[in-house]
Amino acid sequence: MHLSTLKKHWTEFGKHDPLWAILTHGSKKGGKWDVGEFFELGRRDVDAWLGAALVEKPDIERGRALDFGCGVGRLTQALAEHFETVVGVDIAPTMIAEAAKYNRHGDRCTYSVNDRPDLRQFIDAEFDFIFTLIVLQHMAPHYAKGYLKEFLRLLKPGGVVLFQLPELSLTPEGRVLPEDSGPVMDMFGIPPFEVIEFIESNGGRILNVHYNLSPGAEKSHVYIAEKLPAVSN
């Protein structure tokens, strides 16, 4: 799926049922999420995974964080409780509009649309911590790898990225959707050995991998990696 199609589909999800599109619990479809419960789950996820990252790298700086694929800010708002400033990016303008509405942290937390296959709106070494859950799985692997490379560019030396990716793709390769198709959620994966090799060939070092975190056939894993300092000649 091309990024323009991905943007179209997630813009529709953000327009009609954004909270359910982010956390697809069957009983919550149709605007049935309680907003407080939804954001509390985000706080729990951030507390747990930031804690896991700190086990591997206790001296993570608490300056600036990036939430990639932020949706309505479920994780961004929680990250703002731990970092001086946080920015959330998402491909869907409708999601960003909802995120701004739920923002409780003023100028310390900002949101922007990113519908490019890169993150050039940010400068090199801008972030101390980058976080993304249940996002990269919805895009074709070559896009996911492009963003992983960008994460390493955006991290300060010694900065940490924590990201989730399935191992297996459930979306049929080469699937073509009808023009009048409603929005769909694809599920793509990259084998762990390939992810680890990619990170380590682009200036990163894997600190830990938490394997098989979901009951689904896709076999979801969470990776924690740091950006290595540049080697001087």
DSSP string over 179-224: TTPPP--------HHHHHHHHHTTTEEEEEEE---SSSTT-EEEEE
Is residue 142 domain-resident? Answer: yes
Examine residue 34 and state whether it is found in any structural domain, yes or no: no
Answer whether residue 233 is part of any domain. no
Domain presence at residue 123: yes
Q: Which domain holds residue 66?
A: 3-14+39-227
Residue 117 domain flag: yes
Task: Tell me the CATH number at 144.
Answer: 3.40.50.150
Q: What total number of domains does the chain contain?
A: 1
**Does residue 145 lie in a domain region?**
yes
Mean of the pLDDT values across residues 67-71? 98
Asked whether residue 85 is assigned to any structural domain, the reply reads yes
Within a domain: 159? yes
More confident residue, 215 or 103: 103
Model pLDDT for residues 111-169, shown as the tens digit of each residue: 999 999 999 999 999 999 999 999 999 999 999 999 999 999 999 999 999 999 999 99
